[in-house]
Amino acid sequence: MISSLFQAHDREFVIGLPYWHPLCPLHPGHARIYVLADLIAKHLRHAAGGSTRVVTPYGSHYSGSTAAKWIDILQSDGDQREALWRLLARYGVADDVVAEFAAPEDILDHFTDQIIDNLRDMQCDVPEPVLRTIDPDYAAFVRETFDELERRGALVVKGTQASLDYNSFLDEALEQTRATQIFSHGNAEILRVGIRANVDNRRNREDYFVDIFQPEGTGGHRTLSVNLRGVPLDPMHDSLLYDVYNSRTHAFELPVDLFLAEDHLSTWLGRKTFAECMLLEPTQRTRSYFILGSGMFNGRHMSSSKGNAIFPSELAKTYGPRAVRVYLLLMGHPLNVFNVSGETYSQAVEAAARGVRRLDAAAWRLQGLRRSMPVEGDGSDLVGVFSRRLEDAFQSCSLDRYAQIAVFELPRALNRIETSNEELEVFVRRVRDCVTGLPEDERP
């Protein structure tokens, strides 16, 4: 399905991604989004032979007041301060680093840089620049966007409060869902659910004008959200059109061809659909959504702040970042909800690490085999067989199966052959690039 979408274009292929909130390391549910997107991008690049540009912009969402609240707590005394120090220690932040936090931006910059480093360690291609929503150019873009919404009558302002006029765009937004390809499990109407939730929320409120603007954070903490009319924008809104900003920053043409997001973001995706209908022509609107199942830890929704999550950055110290990348891919079909067991996850990561080692060893063994022209037993047939199997898994969005074939089944087949050839070696390097992230021209 994804390949057919890709083959329909002779231009660049754009993969949209939600921005992370840099208040902690990425947990598996979030990290998996970027690893899956990277595998998709690498597979498509190889399928196109490098002739088509695949773009995967990254960004860090600085909106909200939590970081400012943390600074106030760190500069005070009492139980809250001690609890926050313990939380940051759990996130792997050294005491001397915490002691240097003097402004909200310091905290957000720290975790943004850490997340970028973690993703690069897992061999994800991170195109520069990585947008930070605190950037002045981004704030100017958001203000420009909302000025245009007001000019079109889609933004209704009342003093220091405002609302997007969802009702006027309801029919168009629902129609847009029929033109949008959605890869999801059990809820093919996820955009419609999100769209109707936004409209119903507006109708059920006594004060319609409480949607866009928000006051300073609770307790008087300042927020880093973009200001409009001197009041911060709700963070759920100032990021709705960052795909448009990405297109300017990374010089690609809209639409976004495939946007990855977890299923719990249905309301946010509904707002994104509304925003695109308000501002973009139909040909510029997101073409497809890949809705991933969200993560559970011991049967509860995974949350770093609630302490029911593990961090890939910590697992990488023991098992290596490429093993963690493969572990994230093997968590199950991307469209399904997955559950991490606190008792058995280490065995799962170790199994992924063994798979990476076996694929590396098999690739290394190929280098030592006598090369030959294609003859019986040299593995030439493996290229066709495994290419078809991997493509079938890719087409069905079974990227967990894709990884399983690559790190468990392919090495077994490779270890049975006696001679090799260049076609097979190139194929194996490309598979390792997609699944473990090892660049095609790098040897194990």
Separation between Cα atoms, residue 88 and residue 85, nearest integer Å? 5
What is the pairing mode between strands 231-232 and 227-228? antiparallel
C-alpha closest to that of 128 among 249, 23, 44, 24: 249
Segment among 4-13, 94-103, 250-259 with least mean pLDDT? 4-13
Residue 217 has pLDDT above 70, yes or no: no
125: which residues sit within 8 A by CB, 6+ positions away? 38, 41, 42, 56
**Domain limits, the chain:** 312-333+341-435
**pLDDT for 441:** 47
Q: What is the mean pLDDT of residues 314-342?
A: 93
Separation between Cα atoms, residue 365 and residue 393, nearest integer Å? 26
Q: What is the mean pLDDT of residues 377-388?
A: 80
What pLDDT digit, counting tens, does each position of 252-297 carry?
999 999 999 998 888 888 889 999 999 999 999 999 999 999 888 8
Task: Find out whether 262 and 297 touch, Cβ atoms under 8 Å.
Answer: no
Residue 145 has pLDDT above 50, yes or no: yes
Eight-state DSSP code of residue 233: B
Residue 235 has pLDDT above 60, yes or no: yes
Q: How confident is the model at residue 232 (pLDDT cuts 50, 70, 90)?
A: confident
Separation between Cα atoms, residue 173 and residue 191, nearest integer Å? 9
Vertex 208: Cα angle to 204 and 214 (nearest 5): 110
Separation between Cα atoms, residue 270 and residue 170, nearest integer Å? 10
Task: Find out whether 366 and 398 touch, Cβ atoms under 8 Å.
Answer: no
Task: Find out whether 194 and 271 touch, Cβ atoms under 8 Å.
Answer: yes
Rg of the chain in Å (alpha carbons): 23
What is the CATH class of 312-333+341-435?
Answer: mainly alpha
Task: Find out whether 327 and 349 touch, Cβ atoms under 8 Å.
Answer: yes
**pLDDT for 137:** 93
Residue 373 has pLDDT above 70, yes or no: no
Which alpha helices (DSSP H) does 153-229 contain, by range? 166-178, 190-203
C-alpha closest to that of 173 among 243, 274, 256: 274
